[in-house]
Amino acid sequence: MSHITSPETPPAAPLDCASPLLEVRDLQTSFIVGEGEQVRAVDGVSFTVSSGETLAIVGESGSGKSVTSLSIMRLLPKKIGMITGGSISVRGRNLAQLSEREMRRVRGNEIGMIFQEPMTSLNPVHTIGQQISEVVIEHQKLSKKAAWARAIEMLEIVGIPEPVKRASNYPHQMSGGMRQRAMIAMALACEPTLLIADEPTTALDVTIQAQILELMKDLQARLGMAIVFITHDLGVVAEMADRVVVMYAGQVVETGLVNDIFANPRMPYTAGLMQSIPHIGSSENKKKLQTIPGYVPLLTRLPSGCRFRTRCTYATDLCAAAEPPLETLEDGRSVRCVRWRDLDLTPRRAT
């Protein structure tokens, strides 16, 4: 799929590394549901992330995008979720073979993670300053005093006003936007080379979202980290991503550079998603929203063949016959659709 045997040469993205920072290959993650029954929430997902780039993973609920990120971090719920196949490597090192102790060092030091709801990763009974220092002490063996200073420095970097005072605040004393900043400060305290951000702005108001996105871009430029940005919001994707991976029902269905994906989607699902979101400016040219009919199928009741075919306006008998492979194309893109060559899915946009 997207193995990198020879360096990819995308025209726009700033990629200079020959070997990828993160390589996920043929990942399969299953969950136990009921008695001995398993569902494959992530089914054969592959992608790579290079230093300094931003990869967006886009999908709706049930697409497997968050499970993919939890698999990378090895934070799947114990005994219920497990990686059943494939590999995840960071700088060529297979994470599956690491002990829990070694993995802890990878989290924080090499990979930082932020979530949609900051309260899931902030401890309500410790101050923000304590929590950040703890991370720094654990990973960088700094003294308590130096770690506290580092915590204050980080709070300042993420734009929290009065960082000295705020370091002694508990999470509940902060607003949603402030908590998100504090979580980013914690995730970046050890200067990881990769930040995984799972819907980091979904719960925030738009003016606060704009602040956080700006902050992430700014920190990326200064610290040079790569970002895996998991979101359902195509506006955020367009704003942040260099490359895009579109997921549907546990699989990758399309990948490409952000401009290519938006200008010329090849998988009908990607095109459908783009057509179905209302754009600012619609009142100048009012028309009905295009919709994707039906609902995302349950993983336990997937259709035969292409998983999207029951909702796809272009589906034929061919689509039901066999599961389409993810086809890698010469221009570096990939698409999972047997009919893509016959379709013109270029968005019609009112200007």
For residue 138, which phi and psi values (nearest 5 degrees)? -60, -45
Residue 82 region, left (φ>0) first, then alpha (ψ -120 to 50), else beta? Answer: beta
34 binds other proteins (CB under 8 A): no
4 binds other proteins (CB under 8 A): no
Pairwise CA distance, residues 208 & 84, whole Å? 39
| Closer of 98 and 213 to other proteins (Cβ) | 213
161 binds other proteins (CB under 8 A): yes
DSSP letters, 309-336, are: GGG-TT--HHHHHSPPP-EE-TTS-EE-
199 binds other proteins (CB under 8 A): no
| Closer of 41 and 258 to other proteins (Cβ) | 258
Instruction: Write down the least CB distance from residue 285 to other proteins, Å.
Output: 10
Task: Find out whether 129 and 151 touch, Cβ atoms under 8 Å.
Answer: yes
Pairwise CA distance, residues 108 & 119, whole Å? 18
Pairwise CA distance, residues 241 & 250, whole Å? 21
Task: Find out whether 197 and 163 touch, Cβ atoms under 8 Å.
Answer: no
Pairwise CA distance, residues 261 & 267, whole Å? 9
236 binds other proteins (CB under 8 A): yes
Q: Which of 51, 131, 180, 209 binds other proteins (CB under 8 A)?
A: 209
Q: Which of 39, 296, 320, 343 binds other proteins (CB under 8 A)?
A: 296
177 binds other proteins (CB under 8 A): yes
Token look-up 């309260």 returns 119
Binding mask 54-73 for other proteins (x = CB under 8 A): ------xx------------
Binding mask 265-284 for other proteins (x = CB under 8 A): -------xxx-xxxxxxxxx
DSSP run (H or E) holding 112: strand 111-114
288 binds other proteins (CB under 8 A): yes
| Closer of 144 and 349 to other proteins (Cβ) | 349
Neighbour count for residue 35 (Cβ, 10 Å): 5
Instruction: Write down the least CB distance from residue 234 to other proteins, Å.
Output: 4
Strand partners, 43: 28
| Closer of 87 and 259 to other proteins (Cβ) | 259
**Which region among 86-94, 116-124, 233-241, 312-320 touches other proteins (by CB under 8 A)?**
233-241
Question: Rule CB under 8 A: which residues touch other proteins?
Answer: 60-61, 161, 175-178, 205-211, 213-214, 232-239, 241, 258-259, 262-263, 272-274, 276-284, 286, 288-293, 295-296
